[in-house]
Amino acid sequence: MLALDSFARTRRVVSSAINDDAGTSPFFSILARYRHARLLERTGHPAEAKAEYEDFLAHWGHADRPVPEIDDARAAVARLGAAK
């Protein structure tokens, strides 16, 4: 449960360690949504996981460059949608 709580909180984190304009960079909070979804799925919360994957994809589903998490999130949404 500590990991679930940590990633839920990380959804709102920005970092100036990467760049000085971190206040406008959603990178960390968006990627945390993917990690949080994985933890939700693995701990038996499929509906919440699917919603979190969908939120991740809504923010990052049209990335200019290939991001492996996007393909994995899409597969998870399909898997969780079929598992009803």
* Domain extent for 6: 2-82
- The least confident of 10-19, 25-34, 57-66, 73-82 is 10-19
Q: What is the mean pLDDT of the chain?
A: 80
| Spatial CB neighbours of 22, under 8 Å, sequence gap ≥ 6 | 14, 15, 16
Domain count, the chain: 1
How much is the pLDDT for 14? 53
pLDDT band at residue 17 under the 50/70/90 scheme? low
How much is the pLDDT for 81? 92
CA angle 24, 5, 17 (to 5 degrees): 35
